[in-house]
Amino acid sequence: MANSRIDPATGTETVGHEWDGIEELDTPMPRWWLWTFYLTIVFAIGYVIAYPAWPMVDRATKGVLNWSSRGDLARDMDAAEQARTGVHEALSRVPVERLPDDSALLAQAVAGGRAAFQVHCTQCHGSGGAGSQRLGYPNLNDDDWLWGGDLRAIEFTLVNGIRAPGHDDTRQSQMPPFEGVFDPVQMEALIDHVLALSGKAENNRQGAQIFADNCAACHGEAGGGSRALGAPRLNDAIWLRGSTREDIRRQILNPRMGVMPAWENRLDPATIRMLAAYVHSLGGGEDFIAKADDPAVEVDDRP
Amino acid sequence: MTAPDPADPAPGARGQPDQQVSSAVADPAAATRRHDPHEPEPVHLPQSLVEKRAAVHNKRIDGRFRRFKWAVMLLTLGIYYGAPWLRWNRGPYAPDQAVLVDVANRRFYMFGIEIWPHEFYFVAGLLVMAGLGLFLVTSAVGRAWCGYACPQTVWTDLFQHVDRFVDGDRNARIRLDAAPWTWGKVTRRAFKWTIYLAIGFATGGAWVLYFADAPTLWRDFFAGEAAPIAYVTVAILTLMTVTLGGFMREQVCIYMCPWPRIQTAMLDEKSLIVTYKDWRGEPRGSVKKAEKDPAHFGDCIDCRQCVAVCPTGIDIREGPQIGCITCALCIDACDRVMADVGRPRGLIDYATLEDCEAEARGEAPRAPWRTILRPRTIAYGLIWGAVGLSLLFALGVRSHVGLTVSPDRNPPFMVMSDGGLRNSYTLKLRNMESRPRGFRITVDGLPGAVLWSDTVGRADAAAAQTVTVPADQTRTVRAYVAVPPGTTAQDFAFRLTSLDPQHETARARTHFSAPAGNSP
Ligand code: SF4
Ligand code: SF4
């Protein structure tokens, strides 16, 4: 370079640039450093041969090792699948009511159920299982169960669904519409009585009479509901479809009833069991009641 | 490389045979004249792109600094190779290895101290102390780290001893290097490199022993049953040790290590460095020449012993430079020579540049403690001590329980059928003792609250629950807290109390959510 000169202090040549009097020495680098450069070149050549490298028209060269990140992913997924099969196996063998005996398996079931819940159930019940009062999707965290809240009952509901069309074993019940049955005074009295069941209004004899004649068959004399019929409890603080007079009137005149698909043919038994365990774990899960008052649940006793 | 002749009558030539006097003292005028820093003749280097490494064959030397270096080397290597084998009883639930980095279980054991990942600030604090310690050492005694304790220095030293053991001292090694590749040389080299590999293997092998139970891993390793990562790590570290200690050596210090650059910035004219006192030594002249013209020549007899013993192969007489790791071997070498020719020791010595100038002016040297104790070092020392003390304090008062709470946010609260409210929480109970412990969980400051969990059903809900946490583990508990109807949203705390005599407690504040209608 034109301006390069020998620096007297070090005896080294400068590169010839100068910035405000500061010059740069052209110190020779150690030879091993040069070798490492050559090594990186060799490495690069090897890499290009071994791994996908050159972009071609629609894909890159494959490389002799045939490695791809997609392949890596597939392998990881396989491994995860393998790891899961053990739990699946165990779950499909253990009847759901035996799950709490094996706390490790239960924990895995709850974890798996949480994942499955996010895929299959959140659309209606919400990601936290809190449901929606406006749309009538039940909250799964509380202690109020329409059809039963022990592990077997939950599993049965999952398998067979609720009012699932075209499914023979589905949980079934129907509340008749009372449109045009009561005159306005009777209607108000009935609403008062329904509210009175949970202490939200004064008792009144007329409403009580109407309730006893029309409603008690399913909802019970004291409004305790019936799990066999999926008739909601009316004497508690939980209102599936709202607790205002308007909400109650609407529900009496033109009742809306929830529908839940039967998951029997959509999910494998192990996943359903995991979902049952998860829903049960949300906080409102009940212990088994000695006499199961829900329809007989067939215990899966396949080997 | 003529060794000075002890019978040389040089001191006598100065007229006072029995008194060791430096030429500068004997002739101050000459000393002042020579005080200009010595600058080597500008050599015309052949300009080339790369510089071939000149092998360093440093000569054997003995002296006080060499002995100190031996001691430090024994100590550091002893600690490194031996520490994994020390045992420390921690009871049946924890490993009995004194120093163990248990990556799989995320624990770090150091004698009586056990560090959990959330206590990593202890490790950070130690690193801060290490950093400050280096500052402190550098400003007090210069590059002492480089000279004695740096692994690169220690292992290089070890490998240089191997060289000396196999191939002989400096001259023999230079000859062997230049010799053609005969069978004899091949055998020697093979032997030497086998020793290199053995040292490298021992070094890499010792490293992995810090990460698992040493005796077990040792057995598994040689039975071929250890984890693949252990073999890979040992292989890489073996190669690294051999490359860096056996072949790269001073190249690491000169080209690769950031530390000399940082130290260069930290050294000032008050820092202790290994210096050649040019005002005393220049101009150099052999004993014979000095005899003829005592007034002209300085104390350096140009025997080049300081260059011969230098592990980085530099000439300290060219002035302070990045290649000097201040191992002080040249001081040992020069002191010997000075003793032999009957001149005062310390032509090359630990000194500060300021002291050198004062000394050259004929002033009395400052006391060594004044070099070491000055505002900068005291400040570093105080900060260092403060960090250390606060770490010790934190270690002393740290509790062996931990509790973290995270409330469920979706849904935030739940109306129960009796109209009461329930919130759900995920509690993490940490038992940092090496034995299983029972704990009582209670709710603090939430009137009427009852508590149940994923293992205790709602039927047994109560104001307090008892759980057992396994030794040295964190247990996750789902806790459900229910309150009577009408309770408003408010803050409260979970309290954890250990059921052993220590009664350690941990508290974690959290929030109870309620519907908007219940707001106070
Ligand atoms: S220069 Fe770097 S590698 Fe060399 S001794 Fe100092 S700290 Fe160690
Ligand atoms: S010049 Fe002296 S102190 Fe510096 S590295 Fe060489 S022998 Fe060690």
For residue B430, list its beta bridge partners. B402, B474
- Which amino acid, B85? W
Whether B157 has a pLDDT exceeding 90, the answer reads yes
> Cis before residue A95, ω within 30 degrees of 0?
no
More confident call, A2 vs B509: B509
* Chain A contact present for B457, CB below 8 A: yes
- Check whether B4 has a pLDDT greater than 80: no
Inform me whether the pLDDT recorded for B382 exceeds 90: yes
Stretch B244-253: mean pLDDT: 92
Any chain A CB within 8 A of the CB of B503?
Answer: no
- Provide the pLDDT for residue B77: 96
Q: Give the strand pairing for A14-19 and A22-25.
A: antiparallel
Tokens of B130: 């290490």
Instruction: Find the mean pLDDT for residues B36-60.
Output: 67
Whether residue B478 and residue A281 make contact (CB cut-off 8 A), yes or no, is yes
Look at residue A37 in the predicted model and tell me its pLDDT.
Answer: 93
Do the Cβ atoms of A28 and B478 come within 8 Å? no
Domains (range + CATH), chain A? 1-67 (no CATH), 72-168+265-281 (1.10.760.10), 184-253 (1.10.760.10)
Query: What average pLDDT does this structure show over B233-240?
Result: 96
Which 8-state DSSP code applies to residue A287? P
Percent of chain B having pLDDT more than 90?
58
- Alpha carbon dihedral B153, B155, B156, B162, in 10-degree steps, equals 150
User: pLDDT digit string (tens) for B306-363?
Assistant: 999 999 999 999 888 889 999 999 999 999 999 999 899 989 999 888 888 888 888 8
Exposure on the CB side of residue B68, measured as CA atoms within 13 A:
13
Q: Is B423 within 8 Å of B407 (Cβ atoms)?
A: yes
* Residue where the block lists tokens 């038994």: A269
Give the pairing of strands B50-51 and A29-30. parallel
In this prediction, residues B9-26 reach a mean pLDDT of 45
What pLDDT is recorded for position B287? 84
Pairing verdict, β B113-115 and B107-110: antiparallel
Is the pLDDT at B18 greater than 90? The verdict is: no
pLDDT-derived band of residue B398, with 50, 70 and 90 as boundaries? confident
The residue ranges of every structural domain in chain B are: 11-53+263-366, 60-86+150-248, 401-518
What's this model's pTM, rounded to 2 decimal places?
0.75
Query: Which pLDDT does position A276 carry in this prediction?
Result: 94
Report whether pLDDT(B101) > 90. Answer: yes
pLDDT at B66: 95
* CB < 8 Å to A287, chain B: 457, 459
Summarize pLDDT for B440-463 with one digit per residue, the tens. 999 999 999 999 988 888 888 899
Q: Is residue B205 very low, low, confident or very high in pLDDT (cuts 50, 70, 90)?
A: very high
Q: Is pLDDT larger for residue B343 or for residue B19?
A: B343
Report chain A's mean pLDDT, rounded to a whole number. 87
Q: Is the pLDDT of residue B15 over 70?
A: no
Each residue's pLDDT tens digit, A72-120 = 999 999 998 888 888 888 888 888 888 888 888 888 899 999 999 999 9
Local confidence band at B371 (pLDDT 50, 70, 90 cut-offs): confident
* Residue A225, amino acid: G
**From the CA of B347, how far away is ligand 2's center (Å)?**
13
Q: What is the nearest CA distance from A103 to chain B, expressed in angstroms?
A: 9
d(CA B94, CA A178): 70
Per-residue model confidence as pLDDT tens digits over A115-158? 999 999 999 999 889 888 888 899 999 888 999 888 999 999 99
Q: What is the mean pLDDT of chain B?
A: 87
Q: Helices (DSSP H) in A126-239: which residue ranges?
A: 151-160, 184-197, 205-214, 216-219
What pLDDT score was predicted for residue A1? 46
Q: Which residues of B32-46 are buried (b: 16+ CB within 10 A; e: fewer)?
A: eebbeebeeeeeeee
Most confident of the following: A132-141, A230-239, B79-88, B427-436: B79-88
Cβ of B146 below 6 Å from ligand 2: no
What is the atom index within ligand 2 of the atom nearest the CA of B348?
2
- Phi, psi at residue A207, to the nearest 5°? -60, -40
Which three-class secondary structure state does DSSP give residue A161? coil
Check B411 against A126: CB less than 8 A apart: yes
pLDDT per residue as tens digits for the range B279-319: 888 888 888 888 888 788 889 999 999 999 999 999 999 88
Closest CA to A283 of B452, B483, B494, B486: B452
pLDDT at A272 over 50: yes
- Report the residue from A11, A238, A283 with minimal CB separation from B480: A283
pLDDT at B34: 39
Buried b (16+ CB within 10 A) or exposed e, B215-248: eebbeebeeeebeeebeebbeebbeebbebbbeb
Q: What's the average model confidence in pLDDT over A198-227?
A: 91
**Residue B350, SS3?**
strand
At A2, the pLDDT band (50, 70, 90 cuts) reads low
| Helix (H), strand (E), coil (C) string for B241-288 | HHHHHHHHCHHHHHHHCCHHHHHHHHCCCCCCEEEECHHHHCCCCCHH
* Interior/surface letters B19-30, b for 16+ CB within 10 angstroms, e for the rest: eebbbbebbeeb
Please give the CATH number for the structural domain made up of B401-518: 2.60.40.10
Residue with tokens 């400051």: B445
Least confidently predicted of A33-42, B10-19, B284-293, B467-476: B10-19
Among B481, B403, B397, smallest CA distance to B439 is for: B403
Q: What percent of chain B has pLDDT over 70?
A: 90
CB contact under 8 A, A29 and B458: no
Ligand 1 — pocket residues by CB below 6 A? Answer: B 146, 150, 152-153, 252-253, 257, 259-260, 325
B478: chain A residues, CB-CB within 8 Å? 281, 283
- Cα–Cα distances (Å) from B377 to A233, B205, B351, B383, B466, in that order, read 79, 38, 16, 10, 54
Contact A65, A51 (CB under 8 A): yes
Interface TM-score (ipTM) > 0.85? no
Q: Are B84 and B200 in contact (CB under 8 A)?
A: no
pLDDT of residue B174: 93
Length of chain B: 520
Q: Is the peptide bond before B375 cis (omega within 30 degrees of 0)?
A: no
Over range A20-25, report the average pLDDT.
85
B310 within ligand 2 shell (Cβ under 6 A): yes
pLDDT for the residue B26: 54
Size of interface A-B (CB pairs under 8 A): 91
Contact between residue B55 and residue B177 where contact means Cβ atoms under 8 Å apart:
yes
